[in-house]
Structure 1
């Protein structure tokens, strides 16, 4: 009896444990998704108490700026009207450091900040040194010539004379460091003296001179603390809710984020919008495919084919015109009217005539397309590679001798790649708290529910088997009792005297 009692107690305990596990698992299935969502909302908003705040403030991801220059092979032939030939040089790689300052939380659920950037050359990652010489178009001369195209001939002749006096030519041979960070040019001093409002810079001229140790403007973005639906969206840039560089309200709108984080809980229908001060416009990336980065699920977003399409190919881009061939964007209106164009490297995804007009260009998707890999649950980028090309439209200007017989062409100057991937301790922290822990909770709820169901079966099976044993014992006992009663009755009938008149017959074999 003692062993049976102990077995019943053990079965009862297992059944109770199973009930608890099943109830807990069922509750977790209902509660965990909400709990995870609340934790994500809490940790991705711009708030000093959130997990991602320090990541937002001091970006821990090592960013690299890789520059590829187009070295002009035949500058003299170009002046005679021949097709330009270029040779790609680089990359020249710079470590990019970013940090936010002047962080001010406003009363309307927004925060304002300035983000400063600085660059440090990385010779071990580069194919060349900053002291390398390359032949480049003289942007100041050729841009000034283009600006003078519709001016009186007398002004053009004066400019030709000024160029000759200053020793300015259509092409120049300078070091990477000079082209990147600036060089003294007598033309700048002359223009600033007589036309002080033409150029925004007063000292050295360089393609990245204005970017090093500077900020990209005052951003004001929504924190998501009070109104989560607007998290990370730009409210104003430099106090403006829209710019005035372009010819339509749609193109002038400042849409999306500042390009660092996006709203969480993405789907394949989500698009990444962000405002780029360097491009003077908002851009939109679209979903391509899902993938994994260091064990973290990601969505890959890429540029649509219409990003730099002209107005005839994609009507909403009409406001960015006047346009040339499709696939390049005229940014002269936000670059002191210099005939500069933005595109994908090597004119990838552009009208083929652009690449065919310059020898040495080989556009392909693998090397020249851009992408962002974003964790869809949090909206935080894990890995990115943004590639863009800067080109200069040049041609012969009658009256300005320095332009010779140059045939109209969009001549690539350089292309750059900004890349960064989360790594080290920030990656491990992100994985543990925002990927591993939710995954553990997700699977734990189903494990508990399954375990509870299994444990609940034990008392049920035990009860069924116990009832079967009792029935068999009862049936066996009942059958034996009837047999005994029959034997006893037969024995008694034999011992009873026969009635009178009954003839006893002899048994015969």
Structure 2
């Protein structure tokens, strides 16, 4: 009877004989092996496809579209104004212009994509609405600060007639003197930027309907009528990334054109992203972005790495080839403007104004520009344009895009306020767009990247565990067979 009790002992959970335990172990090992094998083979690719789809803007339900529709990364636009401190000495004695940098004047910047249309050719057409709000607590100074700078309207008008007959220039000079137009103008920061100001000369020029004066506004300000506008930046067409993730975010048309009319040859080709949505660069040596304010592309070069909240990204920086005019890079010759290298004429895309873009403080430009004026202090630490991208997703980790607007002050005979000055590139202001990934978005990105590898490793672990159970199964089979081959000497016989 003791033997029977040993055989039929139960703990209330049911009974599993040694043979049952052996085959249960075998079944579990096979199941784990199949699950592990399928996971290790198919998870990486299937999850990769899912992740790539979520990064695209192919439809309004993807995470990529939601992040792109309204940019979740906090962005700030900073302005640094150049206050001209010795304009009278420049007019009277041809002294070297002196400038004092004021700022930063910081605005929170928010982007919303409007009029979004999904096309059948893997592209999306849209407009960008940019909204700015001044941040006094982050700024040095007030929007009511007075700034003295080269009179932009006077420069616009004088530039239009510089090659006209001397009598035409004298007629313009008469208007200048009659309306008390001076070489410099003093206005508040707010007026120079977003608010704008009324200008008598501008009103006269608009009434005269001068053909080369294409200003669409009755008040002047560098960013007037831009705050909240959905039309100013134009109409963009870019790849959605649905069928080719390597093209995600690349702009293929601007204002319905593949190439701008502002620059000839390769310089006018529209290429690159908007700077906010990127394809996975995966260590590319160069990336390109299209800047509407430059009406052209900007090339950035791989230069080290950058880490934010545990994410490591490839860092790309701007070099001297951005504003080269063919002096050092022959392919840039289509940007030639008759002046030393280091700046780009944006006259044709900025209402025919004698405006030129460069890096802040003429960083990486020919020393000619720095030596013409006082107050410039170009440094790599403060004035290098760069961005960092997570290589597997293209998520931007940080952005610092900095450019400077300059006006060409020409010596023009017949117009008194310009007849006694030295032709000089005058810095007006520089601005930079800053952005850095938020902690929550960084953690989400890390989780998505870790999940792809983690589940794959779990699959490998299940395969390893199943193999271990297989060995254990073999051991159990061997043990049971060994027991069956041994007959104890004191074995009892039970009869019915």
How high is the TM-score relative to the length of structure 2? 0.86
Alignment check: 8 A CA contact 1:188 1:202 kept: no
Query: Offset of 1:200 from its aligned partner?
Result: 2.2
1:456-502: CA deviation from partner (whole Å, max 9, x where unpaired): 4545677789999999x99xxxxxxxxxxxxxxxxxxxxxxxxxxxx
Deviates more, 1:18-27 or 1:311-320: 18-27
Query: Offset of 1:307 from its aligned partner?
Result: 1.0
Instruction: Specify the alignment match of 2:327 in structure 1.
Output: 312
1:33 aligns with 2:22: no
Alignment check: 8 A CA contact 1:180 1:208 kept: yes
Alignment check: 8 A CA contact 2:73 2:438 kept: yes
Alignment check: 8 A CA contact 2:325 2:334 kept: no
1:152-171: CA deviation from partner (whole Å, max 9, x where unpaired): 11111111121111111111
1:166-217: CA deviation from partner (whole Å, max 9, x where unpaired): 1111111211011112110001111001135413223110111142222311
Query: Offset of 1:12 from its aligned partner?
Result: 6.1
Instruction: Specify the alignment match of 1:217 in structure 2.
Output: 234
Alignment check: 8 A CA contact 1:347 1:354 kept: yes
Residue 14 to residue 178, structure 1, CA distance change in 2 (3 Å):
same
Aligned match for 1:60, one of 38, 62, 72: 72
Query: Offset of 1:60 from its aligned partner?
Result: 1.9
Residue 154 to residue 452, structure 1, CA distance change in 2 (3 Å):
same
Name the CA distance, whole Å, in 1 between partners of 2:430 and 2:176.
28
Aligned match for 1:86, one of 86, 99, 102: 99
Name the CA distance, whole Å, in 2 between partners of 1:243 and 1:179.
28
Residue 195 to residue 25, structure 1, CA distance change in 2 (3 Å):
same
Deviates more, 1:459-468 or 1:402-411: 459-468
Instruction: Specify the alignment match of 1:493 in structure 2.
Output: none
Name the CA distance, whole Å, in 1 between partners of 2:117 and 2:134.
32
- Considering only CA atoms, is the larger Rg found in Structure 1 or Structure 2? 1
Residue 19 to residue 402, structure 1, CA distance change in 2 (3 Å):
same
1:169 aligns with 2:186: no
1:217-273: CA deviation from partner (whole Å, max 9, x where unpaired): 11122323355554333232211121101122x111111233321223x22125322
Q: How does 1:425-504 map to 2 (within 5 A)?
A: 425-432=440-447, 434-459=448-473
Residue 164 to residue 435, structure 1, CA distance change in 2 (3 Å):
same
Alignment check: 8 A CA contact 2:199 2:219 kept: yes
Instruction: Specify the alignment match of 2:162 in structure 1.
Output: 149
Query: Offset of 1:52 from its aligned partner?
Result: 1.6
Instruction: Specify the alignment match of 2:10 in structure 1.
Output: none
Name the CA distance, whole Å, in 2 between partners of 1:460 and 1:290.
51
Q: How does 1:195-214 map to 2 (within 5 A)?
A: 195-197=209-211, 198-214=213-229
Instruction: List gaps (5 residues or longer) in structure 1.
Output: 475-509
Query: Offset of 1:294 from its aligned partner?
Result: 1.6
1:140 aligns with 2:153: yes
Query: Offset of 1:14 from its aligned partner?
Result: 5.1
SS at match of 1:333: coil
1:47-80: CA deviation from partner (whole Å, max 9, x where unpaired): 1121221111121222111001111121122222
Instruction: Specify the alignment match of 2:310 in structure 1.
Output: 295
Name the CA distance, whole Å, in 2 between partners of 1:85 and 1:461.
90
Name the CA distance, whole Å, in 1 between partners of 2:21 and 2:80.
74
Name the CA distance, whole Å, in 2 between partners of 1:149 and 1:30.
72
Query: Offset of 1:361 from its aligned partner?
Result: 1.4
Deviates more, 1:179-188 or 1:250-259: 250-259
Instruction: Specify the alignment match of 1:350 in structure 2.
Output: 365
Residue 464 to residue 372, structure 1, CA distance change in 2 (3 Å):
farther
Residue 308 to residue 210, structure 1, CA distance change in 2 (3 Å):
farther
Aligned match for 2:135, one of 119, 122, 125: 122
How high is the TM-score relative to the length of structure 1? 0.84
Cα RMSD (Å) of the superposition?
2.9
Residue 298 to residue 461, structure 1, CA distance change in 2 (3 Å):
farther
Alignment check: 8 A CA contact 2:289 2:299 kept: yes
Residue 33 to residue 129, structure 1, CA distance change in 2 (3 Å):
same
1:251 aligns with 2:267: yes
Instruction: List gaps (5 residues or longer) in structure 2.
Output: 8-15, 488-496
Deviates more, 1:407-416 or 1:442-451: 442-451
1:413 aligns with 2:425: no
SS at match of 2:63: coil
Name the CA distance, whole Å, in 2 between partners of 1:75 and 1:12.
96
1:59-112: CA deviation from partner (whole Å, max 9, x where unpaired): 122211100111112112222222222111100001112212212223333222
Alignment check: 8 A CA contact 1:275 1:282 kept: yes
Deviates more, 1:38-47 or 1:459-468: 459-468
SS at match of 2:73: coil
Residue 469 to residue 120, structure 1, CA distance change in 2 (3 Å):
same
Name the CA distance, whole Å, in 1 between partners of 2:318 and 2:240.
26
1:236 aligns with 2:247: no
Aligned length: 470
Aligned match for 1:50, one of 39, 62, 80: 62
